[in-house]
Structure 1
């Protein structure tokens, strides 16, 4: 085999491995990460019992939404993102199905500070917040309805 053929085989193999890895992790919820709040966001959200404003509560207040009594599905999306539309539909369906769950969508392009603060690297990203606005878990990519319901069971 020539060198060119080996390069093609290696490139196809690498693309296949990366594609399979991404397909297996897309929409899967993982643990929460620390979020650093800005002073402006803290001023707009309620303060919890410990005296600190949860970052999720601050962002939900900033975009004009309200926290759910049980949980909030915070979706970071962008205008030209097809998976974002599918995620919006799934999260809206789950919010209608499960009592006390709210769905709040954040346009990542119009809220760049929050996007950076939450460490959002791609859209859609779904962050599950507890009733106080603290992050419980998150999924990068379009989660299925079953994945969202399983994540809500953690709250």
Structure 2
């Protein structure tokens, strides 16, 4: 392999990695509307009914090793405090690992916006923006 070919391969790999990184960064933390049927569409069985807000609940899935989860929790608490009937509910996936597959949680934090009837309306993969 010549030096020119090696440099060209290296530049190509760096270009692909950069494009993939930018795409991932653009998608992380963005709201995605969900229309999930079945178990993934409702969160009524995650906690007692008193843990949910009357208007909305911000359900945060986190793990003990998640570096971004404490800051996300503070941010969601401040959002909930500004709106009547909105609460935050944190679910530790280390204690409930089956919920990760049920709600398709691929990263922590993942936040679900749940309406007053406990139906998932929006999800954020990563810290919400």
Q: TM-score, normalised by structure 2?
A: 0.89
Q: Supply the distance in 2 between the matched residues of 1:89 and 1:33 (Cα, whole angstroms).
A: 27
Long gaps (5+) in structure 1: 39-53, 145-155
Q: Using CA pairs under 8 Å that are at least 6 residues apart, name the structure with larger relative contact order, 1 or 2.
A: 2
Choose which of 124, 128, 137 in structure 1 pairs with 2:122.
137
Long gaps (5+) in structure 2: none
Report how many residues are paired: 127
- For residue 3 of structure 1, report the CA deviation from its aligned partner: 2.1
Tell me, what secondary structure is at the counterpart of 2:51?
A: coil
Higher percent of residues as strand: 2
- For residue 90 of structure 1, report the CA deviation from its aligned partner: 0.7
CA RMSD of aligned residues (A): 1.9
Per-residue CA deviations over 1:120-146 (Å, capped at 9, x if unaligned) read: 1111100000101100010101113xx
Q: Following superposition of structure 1 onto structure 2, how do residues 101-112 of structure 1 map, counting pairs within 5 Å?
A: 101-112=86-97
- For residue 2 of structure 1, report the CA deviation from its aligned partner: 2.1
